[in-house]
Amino acid sequence: GENVEQHPSTLSVQEGDSAVIKCTYSDSASNYFPWYKQELGKRPQLIIDIRSNVGEKKDQRIAVTLNKTAKHFSLHITETQPEDSAVYFCAATFIQGAQKLVFGQGTRLTINP
Amino acid sequence: DTAVSQTPKYLVTQMGNDKSIKCEQNLGHDTMYWYKQDSKKFLKIMFSYNNKELIINETVPNRFSPKSPDKAHLNLHINSLELGDSAVYFCASSQILAGGTGELFFGEGSRLTVL
């Protein structure tokens, strides 16, 4: 079935340290893997995405890696700052007639000053 | 200019009532969605429309009825509200690219509380 597992559910790191969030997906045909950040009371917003023909993508302090063989992908945030505190969601596309994005359960990241 | 806007932002209502949420996008996207986010923050897709045609219906109870009068609007009507319907409902839109799904742009959410 369509499943995206995300770990950990909560993560607390010291400011300046790195944070890593991991996701696995069930459908080997999935080809698009975005990451969304949701601040308290706000809407989810895309922070980075990767397609299946790429193994790694970086944007300043944020990077995403994809291992298609193992069907897992990860979000890496370096030099964390207080404004990185939020809930992060991974997602993967599933195709059953139409494409849809299925989200992981979310990771609440807290950056401690 | 707000890209995806939904109204109202807050609804508080009694069990058994009927309510509607409206959504509009000015991005020119051809696909719109309704997602439900429960108290545990799970984001679950409910419906998707492509150019006014329903393409995804995720085994949502019949009490939920989406309507898309045109590709820029997707409304959600809920009949006979139940306590378990309390959640934040997000509208979203995207442009399906040649390579597949494009970025989802979310509205601000509509927080529904059923008493």
Q: What is the pLDDT of residues A3-15, one digit of tens each?
A: 899 999 999 999 9
How far, CA to CA in Å, does B104 sit from each of B29, B33, B51? 10, 9, 16
| Mean pLDDT confidence for A62-66 | 97
Integer Cα distance of A43 and A41 in angstroms? 7
- CA-based nearest residue in chain A for residue B58: A100
- What Rg, from alpha-carbon coordinates, does chain A have? 14
Q: Examine the pLDDT at A98 and tell me if it is beyond 90.
A: no
Q: Which of B42, B90, B96 sits opposite A43 (nearest CB)?
A: B90
pLDDT band at B105 (very low <50, low <70, confident <90, very high): very high
Residue carrying the six token digits 């298609």? A68
Q: Examine the pLDDT at B59 and tell me if it is beyond 90.
A: no
Q: Which of A87, A89, A93 sits opposite B100 (nearest CB)?
A: A93
Q: Examine the pLDDT at B57 and tell me if it is beyond 80.
A: yes
pLDDT confidence of residue A2: 80
Q: Which of A42, A46, A105 sits opposite B103 (nearest CB)?
A: A46
pLDDT confidence of residue B56: 87
Candidates B25, B46, B38; CA nearest to B106 is B25
Residues of B with CB under 8 A from a CB of A: 40-45, 48, 50, 55-56, 90, 96, 99-101, 103-104, 106-109
CB A17 within 8 A of CB A113: no
Higher pLDDT, A25 or A97: A25
